[in-house]
Amino acid sequence: MKTIQAYRFALDLTPAQARMVLAHAGAARVAHNWALARVRAVMDQRAAERTYGIPDAQLTPAVSWSLPALRKAWNAAKAEVAPWWAECSKEAFNTGLDALARGLQNWSDSRSGKRAGRPVGFPRFKSRHRSTPSVRFTTGTIRIEPDRMHVVLPRLGRLKLHESARKLARRVTNGTARIMSATVRQDGGRWHVAFTVEIERADRSPDRPDSVVGVDVGITHLAVLSTGELVPNPRHLAAAQHRLRGLSRALSRKTGPDRRTGRRASKRWQRASARLARTHARVANQRRDGLHKLTTRLTREHGTVVVENLNVSGMLKHRRLARHIADAGFAELRRQLAYKTAWNGGRLFVADRWYPSSKTCSGCGTVKSKLALSEREYRCATCGLTLDRDVNAARNLAALAAAEQPTAGSGSVAGRGANHKTRTRGQEATKRQPGTATAGKTGTVPPQGRTTDRALARAH
């Protein structure tokens, strides 16, 4: 099975190499801003001419937004716009032009309705102080040195790594991997290189192919499995909150930049800002590492994994729980499960957003009309089952996938109708709307308000 995978390594650059990489990132920003200014000038000119009643055939000719057209225009003007262009690789300018071409295409598709999701805004100019330095190489010499502690990139030369790249080097040597591109990016005060690799992965199967596990994510516990296992929530952001507050107060006492007066930040402000950024990066790395370990274990052990389609964006609007929900990383957990189940030969199924997993009794199937968020134990009035509400929800998810008898692959699992209203067992038999017993509507956007409360009740 061929797939696209990324390998990311931290770089150990000398001061001269860091300045050279930063210069390439600045060249990408210059090309992006120049092309964007050219596109906006033509669009504004055409809009002004339309107000004068000029016919469309006589308007200023439009500018093509494609990458080849933008690259051709840049090559014609780079001698005047950037006389130093020969000092940087052509890939640096191509990085900025490619980002602009993608942004304009996404904005156009969003306006015409071809792109799903939230509306995409028009591209903005990149600032050297607020944008993330990044440059992408797609051509030229891109390789890993035999010692596996150095990489070679065009114009940047031989760069040292903080860790060994033996895993990627073995695949490249064996012919099961092909490096497509390399992206150098500054993140958390440290430079990283990420290789986009086409990999030929061997077919694998989980240790227990017939096993079905339901995963109920939450805040008290990061994940509750239908097997009864409780995965603790490490709360990395809460653990680092004391240090973050101290660093933020120290930063506020330094002389920072001021856009209104043009004042530059002091050296002490820059050092304090770097310390704060490193702390945030450490929290993000800890969260990512924990999620990777959990998802890898689940996908390698179980043949079928079932999760809920939670409205995370709506849950983040809850002012008291938003920080804890963001710290848990619900969306990242589901994203990793999606591609790792495919890698390991398993299946991922997403229960409908309106499936009442917490309100349904895992013993007899009775559905409660209401279940307060403060009720941490599920008590069934019909069969007398008393169980932790999260374990009960995880068992319902596992039973839902087993009842559907899914085929190979990933997809959605139908709930019990999912008509945005929880009914009791008797009401469901008489009031179920026709045609609602189909696959879950994972792409729909439920009404605001009730979505947040119900999703929080399932995730807490």
Mean pLDDT, to the nearest integer, of 58-65? 90
Q: What is the pLDDT of residue 420?
A: 53
> Which percentage of the chain shows pLDDT scores above 70?
88
Mean pLDDT, to the nearest integer, of 10-33? 96
Q: What is the pLDDT of residue 401?
A: 83
Mean pLDDT, to the nearest integer, of 363-369? 85
Mean pLDDT, to the nearest integer, of 435-440? 35
Q: What is the pLDDT of residue 358?
A: 86
Q: What is the pLDDT of residue 357?
A: 87
pLDDT at 163 over 50: yes
Q: What is the pLDDT of residue 405?
A: 54
The angle at the Cα of 212, spanning 211 to 217, to the nearest 5 degrees, equals: 135
Q: How confident is the model at residue 125 (pLDDT cuts 50, 70, 90)?
A: very high
Distances (CA, A) of 337 to 3, 228, 297, 304, 310: 15, 19, 10, 11, 14
* Residue 381 exposure: Cα atoms within 13 Å on the Cβ side: 8
Q: What is the pLDDT of residue 407?
A: 43
Q: What is the pLDDT of residue 311?
A: 87
Out of 91, 98, 327, 390, pick the active-site residue: 390
d(CA 419, CA 437): 10
Q: What is the pLDDT of residue 238?
A: 94
d(CA 250, CA 370): 47
Mean pLDDT, to the nearest integer, of 127-136? 92
Reading the block at residue 116, the tokens are: 């799903």
DSSP string, 100-114: HHHHHHHHHHHHHT-
Q: How confident is the model at residue 142 (pLDDT cuts 50, 70, 90)?
A: very high
Mean pLDDT, to the nearest integer, of 449-454? 40
Mean pLDDT, to the nearest integer, of 282-298? 95
More confident of the two residues 199 and 443: 199
Q: How confident is the model at residue 4 (pLDDT cuts 50, 70, 90)?
A: very high
d(CA 165, CA 175): 16
Q: What is the pLDDT of residue 432?
A: 40
More confident of the two residues 406 and 221: 221
Among 13, 179, 181, 11, smallest CA distance to 91 is for 181
Burial 251-279 (b: 16+ CB within 10 A, else e): beeeebeeeeeeeeeeeebeebbeebbeb
411-413/302-308 β-pairing? unpaired
pLDDT at 445 over 90: no
pLDDT at 459 over 60: no
More confident of the two residues 405 and 432: 405
Average pLDDT, the chain: 86
Q: What is the pLDDT of residue 424?
A: 52
Identify the top-confidence range among 20-24, 48-52, 426-430, 456-460: 20-24
Q: How confident is the model at residue 433 (pLDDT cuts 50, 70, 90)?
A: very low
Is 200 part of the annotated catalytic residue set?
no
CB atoms within 10 A of CB 178: 13
Q: What is the pLDDT of residue 418?
A: 43
Q: What is the dihedral of CA 404, 408, 410, 416, to 10 degrees?
A: -10
Residue indicated by tokens 């931290």: 10
Q: What is the pLDDT of residue 381?
A: 83
Out of 98, 308, 327, 352, pick the active-site residue: 308
Among 79, 58, 65, smallest CA distance to 32 is for 65
Q: What is the pLDDT of residue 377?
A: 86
pLDDT tens digits for range 202-212: 889 999 999 99
Instruction: Look up the pTM and report it.
Output: 0.81
CB 7 within 8 Å of CB 31: no
Q: What is the pLDDT of residue 371?
A: 84
- Across the beta sheet with 177-187, the strand order is 134-137, 177-187, 190-200, 2-12, 157-161, 150-153, 143-144
Q: What is the pLDDT of residue 134?
A: 96
Is 390 part of the annotated catalytic residue set?
yes
Q: Is the dihedral of CA 47, 50, 51, 54 positive or negative?
A: positive
Out of 98, 216, 327, 352, pick the active-site residue: 216
Among 76, 56, 73, 54, smallest CA distance to 64 is for 73
Lowest-confidence range among 139-143, 281-285, 372-376? Answer: 372-376
Q: How confident is the model at residue 423 (pLDDT cuts 50, 70, 90)?
A: low
pLDDT at 442 over 60: no
d(CA 322, CA 289): 21
d(CA 28, CA 2): 31
Is 301 part of the annotated catalytic residue set?
no
Q: How confident is the model at residue 411 (pLDDT cuts 50, 70, 90)?
A: low
Q: How confident is the model at residue 46 (pLDDT cuts 50, 70, 90)?
A: very high
Q: What is the pLDDT of residue 421?
A: 54
pLDDT at 44 over 50: yes
Q: How confident is the model at residue 14 (pLDDT cuts 50, 70, 90)?
A: very high
